[in-house]
Structure 1
């Protein structure tokens, strides 16, 4: 994912074998746990190279063929971490917020060309995300033990107990690709609906609480 040459070669090979790429699913990625101050620059650069820039490279590689055929679907797998950020997951969420923003613009650019974009936002699924693939900073600052520190791998008990079924998630993604009226943002998992719903309601409350201050910044009429 982080090697542009390999990305381009892979897409060319797929187009040759299958006479074009109809569906791209950007699912590759990994987590990274660290308080913001604990983040290691090289780790963060690799995280963005994989979770964001790798997806961008694949999107740009398949789009010429999709534009030529005037059809296709791009599925970008984000996370509920692309809607809100938990302590210790600031850098991971930053990659997913970036992917969400890019996807939102992309869908408006390519919809007139017959190309669909779906942004998948899963909750917790019983995959290896919280196991082998989860990375974390080697830097530990004791002042964050009660916030970001609680979510370090050695303190995380969620692995293997997540509520989501990956096989059912895959079927939901396939249905979204096939559907004429699929939502752009596809939440997966009951926990995702609850968590994101609570976040959106809190944001609306915050918006209303700051309305007077927000309006005060306009030029007087």
Structure 2
């Protein structure tokens, strides 16, 4: 039987492209979104290997039900793509506590919910791959992205350790850290901005919003290329633990590593 993929956040953006690339490669794809109808709108109903399901990843019980239903129907989940998420973009003090907690509820705890639902089936078979869509913002944080980066830093720390726990049991992990992709990630469907006005930040926030507006739709990264790369890597027995995708992401990650090396060396000199 063809590989069974479960993809979250599959109705648009990178999730849609990953689901499409997997279908093009002959996989069976259980494509989830907060509305299964949105998945059908994105793909149509002509592909009999596409199976839309409704899943809000913050609902742990529904995640378990979708995973169990998938295994009951197809016998396995070979690849989980934990993709669903969104961004709180703006300066930290402009966000309410509720907004910050919602960012973590979706990006971290929601992603954990889906992993908790799927991993027991993978452990039982001693086989499977978890693809976690993080971001270069999980490695590097900048002004205007502190809250979003905090959630992705948390995802990175969790999966880095969890992957080591799973490896002896035959379950593999791939952390994907893209730079800026040409998706709708920066528009109002995926991004939210702080609601508290603070005059001290007004000018800087206006400049940041202008940057986001200008970047939306003009990002350098091609989501189709990344999706194809993920599908290719998923078919390899020894896929890398991380994929830093895009020249911008590689430049930012490299600069961060260089800066850390300098700080570590400086710290040693001071001891």
TM over 0.5, shorter chain? yes
Match of 1:86 among 131, 138, 142: 142
Instruction: Find out whether 1:2 has 2:58 as its counterpart.
Output: yes
Aligned counterpart, 1:12:
68
Determine which structure has greater relative contact order: mean sequence separation of CA pairs < 8 Å that are 6+ residues apart, divided by chain length.
1
Partner deviation per Cα, 1:112-156 (whole Å, 9 max, x = no partner): 111100100000000010113111111121212344543237863
Secondary structure of the equivalent of 1:24?
Answer: strand
Of 260, 266, 269 in structure 2, the residue corresponding to residue 203 of structure 1 is 260
TM-score by length of 1: 0.91
Name the SS for the 1:86 alignment partner. coil
Structure with the larger strand share: 2
Task: Provide the aligned length of Structure 1 versus Structure 2.
Answer: 214
1:73 has 2:129 as partner? yes
Going from structure 1 to structure 2, the CA distance change for 1:50 and 1:155 (only over 3 Å counts) comes to closer
Runs of 5+ in structure 2 lacking a partner? 1-56
Question: How do 1:126-205 and structure 2 match up within 5 A?
Answer: 126-131=182-187, 132-152=189-209, 156-205=213-262
Write the mapping of 1:20-59 to structure 2, written as runs, cut at 5 A: 20-59=76-115
Which stretch shows the higher mean deviation, 49-58 or 140-149?
140-149
RMSD: 1.6
SS at match of 2:251: helix
Unaligned runs of 5+ in 1: 217-221
Change (3 A) 1:161 1:155: closer
Q: Secondary structure at the match of 1:76?
A: strand
Shift of 1:99: 0.4
- What's the secondary structure of 1:120's corresponding residue? strand
Post-superposition Cα deviations, 1:10-56, rounded to whole Å, max 9, x if no partner, equal: 11222122212111111000011131222211111111111010110
Q: TM-score, normalised by structure 2?
A: 0.75
1:219 alignment counterpart: none
